[in-house]
Amino acid sequence: MRKISLKKIDSLFSAIAENSVLYMPVDTKTGAKFEQWENGKELSDSLNTVRSAKDFFFPQTENLMDFKVEGKKIEVIDSRSETEDFVVFGVRACDVKSFDVLDKVFLAEPQDSYYKNRREHGVIMSLACTKPNETCFCTTFRIDAAEPAGDVVCYKTDDAFYMDAKTEKGKKLLSALEGITEAADDTAVTEQQKLTRERMSKLPLASLKADAFGNGKTKEFFDRPEWKELSESCLGCGTCTFVCPTCQCYDIKDFNTGHGVKRFRCWDSCMYSDFTKMSAGQPRLTQLERFRQRFMHKLVYFPTNNDGMFSCVGCGRCLAKCPIQMNIVKVMKKLGGNSNG
């Protein structure tokens, strides 16, 4: 493990930024947001960013390819380019776990080369939580906020940053920083982890369990009458899907610039009525079906296809952002029975 005094934090950031583009959460008028670091920018103290970190690998909008159209002729222009190396600093345990979920989708054969390229060039410096709040429930999905995954795991104490490399990428990054960091034992980190885990165990959602859901439970939950009541007030605004670190549904759309056609991939949402609408009909007619789809996917379908891995990391963003205060926790409590806290 290496450490650096908090007073020298800027020298750490500028050393990282020398070799790679560096992003980190900074405070803005609209909340904490990942921004490219430059001299003078300070790491946000907030627990989490408003938007998740999925943008780094799966941006909200991206240009997939271009077309040149002349008369009856079409030319496909592969506009992909190698991403430059980048470091994302300060990713919380929940968001780091969300990358595993996204990997299951985008790195399954046939692999998505746009996503893979960014994954290969990105280094994750995660940041352990110290003050998880009442919307946090990462423990439900066996995530330890006190010890996130990532290429380099960082811990911020009152006077220092501790850094522990977990992967080859992480080791390479830390060894390049040896000149400004010093070797450290893990006493302070262990102490911090103990406190954080104690705090986690006292949070209101600490006893929420996902055990009732998972692999192969489609029949058990699909026709449950509770979906009606749960979905009744859903506005279908899609906010939950946009702030969600694991929601990855996308649309592909063409835009004619007047000088050619650009094909884009954009985030889409299963909460929207036109998501599944086709000329032959609409399999998800009302908001009940769309609402059910989102939660069944996270709690049942995804685990069925991915060895039990849930497609929720308990970050709590949907709890904070849903305009009608409906969320996955309420769904789990209602459908999962009393044993679910």
Partner 1 sequence: MADIKEPLIPKIGVVTDIRIDTPDVKTFRVVTPDGKKAFDHKPGQCAMLSIPGVGEAMFSITSSPTNTEFMEFSIKKCGCVTEWLHSMEVGQEITIRGPYGRPFPVDTEFAGHDMLFVAGGIGLAPLRSVINYCRHYRDRYGKIDIVYGSRSMQDLVDYKEIIDEWATDAGVEVHLTIDREQPEWDGHVGFVPNYVKELGFSTDKIAVLCGPPIMIKFTLAGLQELGFDKTQVYTTMELRMKCGIGKCGRCNIGAKYVCKDGPVFRFDEIDELPDEY
Stretch that binds partner 1, among 122-130, 198-206, 250-258, 324-332 (CB under 8 A): 250-258
Q: Report if residue 307 touches partner 1, rule: CB under 8 A.
A: no
Q: Report if residue 28 touches partner 1, rule: CB under 8 A.
A: no
Stretch that binds partner 1, among 19-27, 48-56, 206-214, 299-307 (CB under 8 A): 299-307
Stretch that binds partner 1, among 17-25, 90-98, 187-195, 294-302 (CB under 8 A): 294-302
In the list 187, 278, 338, 339, the residue contacting partner 1 (rule: CB under 8 A) is 278
C-alpha–C-alpha distance, residues 140 and 131, integer Å: 17
Q: Report if residue 218 touches partner 1, rule: CB under 8 A.
A: yes
Site for partner 1 in 151-180 (CB under 8 A): none
> Nearer to partner 1 by C-beta: 283 or 323?
283
In the list 19, 61, 80, 185, the residue contacting partner 1 (rule: CB under 8 A) is 80
> Nearer to partner 1 by C-beta: 154 or 244?
244
> Nearer to partner 1 by C-beta: 75 or 198?
75
Stretch that binds partner 1, among 170-178, 230-238, 259-267, 326-334 (CB under 8 A): 259-267
Q: Which residues contact 41 (CB under 8 A, 6 or more apart)?
A: 24, 26, 35
The 10 Å Cβ neighbour count of residue 130 is 16
Stretch that binds partner 1, among 5-13, 202-210, 251-259, 330-338 (CB under 8 A): 251-259
Q: Report if residue 301 touches partner 1, rule: CB under 8 A.
A: yes
Site for partner 1 in 84-123 (CB under 8 A): 105-106, 108, 110, 112-114, 117
Site for partner 1, rule CB under 8 A:
64-65, 67, 69, 72-76, 78, 80-82, 105-106, 108, 110, 112-114, 117, 218-219, 222-223, 248-256, 261, 263, 265, 268, 270, 275-281, 283-284, 289, 293, 296-297, 300-301, 304-305
